[in-house]
């Protein structure tokens, strides 16, 4: 029996377990909206800007581990959502973009909000981009988009459907969802070769990437570092999108950096599921030291040897690699292990002691005064927030200091490595929808907030109690730092344009969109203001924006 293609499309969403479609519709979405009206379990979440829809889907997919859906309107809606789609592409997040196009009879004729090939806009940022050709292919193409987005390594997919095809009759039933392919297991020879190198090394370090921030990997990682006595490093903060290992673990010694003493002294780097590297500028020195061998394990072949030649390259799911390595009999009982393990343990203790001393010194020097340091904001948030709170962080220039101040655990942090600003607040709303019983806090720079402040309206409309902590340094600090780097001086000449954001009242903007607002005026108020904001957001079921004045942070 024939039904509208839009109704069959909604059946695909149902079969895929989709609960929300995040979007900003126009006239071409009429058939889709009409079909969703009769599908109570799939709700359309209205946004005021297309990037908000994409970032909400991004956050929801991160928190659930399943593809999420954003709906964009024709060519212009696609264009408006591309910068935030870039973040999903960089982070390998399965966002399915369902875009609805103008009537197929006017495509190719220079029609309103059309281009000769709108899919070409999205193609560099997705695994698969396609425009449906006939009504009976709408549901099939939608299912294909989900399959492409979810297949490892995951990533965005883009489907463009003309409005007349959605409204046309098509034969049913809709396609059955395709199973997600099993992840790639490492070759046995690769596991043996890695084991041999690890046991022979004097000072190996383990660099864990964000792809290992999964329940099936965290415990295995902890087992591996203890068996082989390995210092643990997170991947560099520019690539870090989730925490793969707890910061308070005695084997954790910090975030990977070429200048870190663990890296400088290492004779082997085992990089598991990490991107090597996301460069901000040409590095002054190699980020993998020439004296250290590199073992790189990644699910995506294109990441292996992209910038640095590994001594051993392994295309495999890194969690399966860890599991297979743990099952190796010589790793279960390390060969000749006592002496080497004792030396490594002493080295790790020294690295950990150095890190603790640096953090303690930072707290002593940065604890008092306003503006606050981002490090103190992180430490205060860790003290005030419940243990299962989730942090969605887009603090930009303040990120390293904030991350150093908050002792994060796996599952507690979501970030983007994309660099397209405006991600943090809408992504936090998506996370809150996925985890309604958790406290969700977005930590964003003042510049980032005003790329997508419209997200606050959606948060208030959807009754989402996200607390938005705005690290307010009243400027685009990265822009100012770029000028200073160019001039080689520590000051910016008066009259330099392009970075001053003073005069923005974040509280007034928040209240204008229906959110709550609070401000920290003295350093000692921070904890109390945060606790009150959490309580008010929960009580009134809407976002609360907390304006926190922070000092400039050094670094790139």
- Over residues 383-439, the pLDDT tens digits come to 999 999 999 999 998 999 999 889 999 999 999 999 999 999 999 999 999 999 999
Of the listed ranges 365-369, 389-393, 442-446, 552-556, the least confidently predicted one is 552-556
Q: Which of 46-55, 353-362, 543-552 has the highest mean pLDDT?
A: 46-55
Backbone angles phi, psi at 108, to 5 degrees: 80, 0
Per-residue pLDDT of 451-508, as tens digits, reads 999 999 999 999 999 999 999 988 888 888 888 888 887 778 888 888 888 889 999 9
Handedness of CA 63, 69, 73, 74 (dihedral sign): positive
Give the pLDDT of residue 333: 63
Output the average pLDDT for the chain: 93
Backbone angles phi, psi at 377, to 5 degrees: -60, -45
CA distances from 66 to 96, 150, 190, 418, 496 (A): 10, 7, 30, 20, 46
How is residue 341 written in tokens? 């393990």
| HSE of 154, CA atoms in CB hemisphere, 13 A | 21
Q: In what order do the strands lie in the sheet with 390-394?
A: 413-415, 390-394, 440-445, 467-472, 544-549, 516-519
Give the pLDDT of residue 499: 84
Q: What is the mean pLDDT of residues 247-266?
A: 94
Question: What residue has token string 């990644």?
Answer: 298
Give the pLDDT of residue 216: 80
pLDDT exceeds cutoff 90 at 551? no
Question: How far is it, in rounded angstroms, from Cα 428 to Cα 537?
Answer: 14
Could you give the percent of the chain with pLDDT greater than 70? Answer: 98
Q: Which residues are registered as beta bridge partners of 475?
A: 500
Give the pLDDT of residue 556: 45
pLDDT exceeds cutoff 50 at 346? yes
Give the pLDDT of residue 510: 98
> Model confidence at 548, in pLDDT bands (50, 70, 90)?
very high
327, with CB counted inside 10 A (0-12, 13-18, 19+), is exposed
pLDDT exceeds cutoff 70 at 293? yes
> Model confidence at 180, in pLDDT bands (50, 70, 90)?
confident
Give the pLDDT of residue 478: 82
Per-residue pLDDT of 129-160, as tens digits, reads 999 999 999 999 999 999 999 999 999 999 99
Per-residue pLDDT of 68-101, as tens digits, reads 999 999 999 999 999 999 999 999 999 999 999 9
Give the pLDDT of residue 330: 80
- Residue 182 Ramachandran class (φ > 0 left, ψ -120 to 50 alpha, else beta): beta
Give the pLDDT of residue 335: 53
Q: What is the mean pLDDT of residues 108-128?
A: 95
> Model confidence at 181, in pLDDT bands (50, 70, 90)?
confident
Question: How far is it, in rounded angstroms, from Cα 239 to Cα 260?
Answer: 17
How many beta carbons lie within 10 A of that of residue 486, not counting itself?
8
Long-range contact pairs involving 246-251 (C-beta distance under 8 Å, separation at least 24): 246/218, 246/407, 246/408, 246/409, 246/410, 247/406, 247/407, 247/408, 247/409, 248/407, 248/409, 249/222, 250/348, 250/352, 251/222, 251/225, 251/226, 251/348
Give the pLDDT of residue 336: 52
51, with CB counted inside 10 A (0-12, 13-18, 19+), is buried
Q: Which residues are registered as beta bridge partners of 472?
A: 549
> Model confidence at 297, in pLDDT bands (50, 70, 90)?
very high
* Strand duo 440-445 + 467-472: pairing: parallel
Helix, strand, or coil (residue 68)? strand
The whole model's pTM is what?
0.95
pLDDT exceeds cutoff 80 at 370? no
Give the pLDDT of residue 360: 83
Strands (E), 47-151: 68-73, 95-101, 128-131
Q: What is the mean pLDDT of residues 516-541?
A: 94
Question: How far is it, in rounded angstroms, from Cα 423 to Cα 120?
Answer: 23
Using an 8 Å Cβ cutoff, are 76 and 28 in contact?
A: no
Query: Which among 47, 123, 118, 44 has a CA at the least distance from the CA of 85?
Result: 123
Helix, strand, or coil (residue 7)? helix
């Amino acid at each position: 029996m024939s039904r509208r293609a839009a109704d069959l499309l909604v059946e695909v969403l149902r079969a895929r377990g989709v609960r929300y479609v995040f979007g900003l519709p126009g006239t071409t979405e009429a058939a889709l909206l009409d079909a969703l009206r009769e599908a109570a379990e799939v709700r359309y979440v209205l946004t005021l800007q297309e990037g908000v829809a994409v970032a909400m889907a991004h956050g929801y997919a991160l928190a659930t581990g399943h593809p999420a859906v954003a709906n964009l309107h024709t060519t212009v809606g696609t264009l408006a959502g591309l910068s935030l789609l870039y973040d999903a592409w960089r982070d390998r997040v399965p966002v399915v973009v369902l875009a609805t196009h103008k009537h197929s009879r006017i495509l190719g004729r220079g029609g309103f909000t059309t281009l000769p090939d709108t899919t070409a806009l999205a193609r560099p940022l997705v695994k698969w981009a396609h425009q449906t050709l006939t009504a009976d292919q709408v549901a099939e193409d939608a299912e294909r988009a989900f399959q492409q987005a979810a297949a490892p390594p995951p990533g965005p997919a883009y489907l463009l459907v003309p409005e007349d095809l959605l409204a046309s009759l098509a034969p049913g039933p809709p396609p059955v969802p395709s199973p997600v392919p099993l992840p790639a297991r490492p070759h046995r020879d690769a596991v043996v070769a890695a084991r041999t190198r690890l046991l022979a090394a004097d000072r190996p370090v383990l660099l864990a990437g964000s792809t290992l921030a999964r329940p099936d990997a965290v415990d295995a990682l902890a087992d591996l570092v203890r068996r082989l006595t390995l210092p643990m490093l997170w991947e560099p903060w520019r690539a870090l999108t989730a925490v793969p290992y707890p910061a308070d673990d005695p084997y954790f010694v910090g975030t990977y950096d070429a200048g870190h003493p663990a890296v400088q002294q290492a004779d082997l780097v085992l990089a598991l599921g990490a991107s090597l590297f996301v460069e901000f500028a040409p590095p002054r020195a190699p980020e993998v030291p020439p004296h250290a061998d590199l073992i790189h394990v990644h699910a995506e072949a294109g990441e292996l040897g992209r910038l640095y030649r590994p001594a051993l390259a392994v295309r495999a799911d890194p969690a399966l690699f860890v599991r297979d390595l743990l099952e190796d009999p010589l790793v279960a009982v390390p060969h000749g292990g006592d002496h080497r393990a004792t030396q490594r343990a002493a080295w790790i203790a020294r690295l950990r002691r150095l890190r603790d001393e640096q953090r303690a010194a930072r707290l002593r020097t940065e604890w008092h005064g306003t503006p606050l340091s981002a490090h103190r904001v992180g430490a205060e948030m860790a003290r005030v927030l419940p243990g299962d709170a989730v942090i969605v962080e887009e603090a930009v220039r303040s990120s390293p200091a904030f991350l150093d101040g908050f002792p994060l655990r796996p599952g507690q942090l979501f970030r983007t490595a994309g660099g397209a600003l405006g991600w943090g607040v809408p992504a936090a709303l998506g996370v809150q929808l996925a985890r309604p019983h958790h406290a969700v806090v977005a930590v964003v720079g003042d510049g980032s907030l005003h790329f997508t402040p419209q997200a606050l309206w959606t948060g208030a409309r959807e009754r989402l109690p996200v607390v938005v902590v705005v690290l307010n340094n009243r400027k685009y600090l990265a822009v100012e730092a770029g000028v200073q780097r160019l001039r080689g001086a520590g000051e910016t000449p008066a009259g330099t344009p392009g970075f001053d954001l003073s005069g923005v009242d974040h509280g007034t903007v928040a209240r204008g969109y229906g959110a709550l607002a609070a401000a920290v005026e003295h350093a000692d108020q921070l904890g109390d203001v945060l606790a009150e904001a959490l309580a008010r957001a929960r009580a009134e079921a809407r976002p609360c924006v907390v304006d926190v004045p922070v000092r400039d942070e050094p670094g790139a």
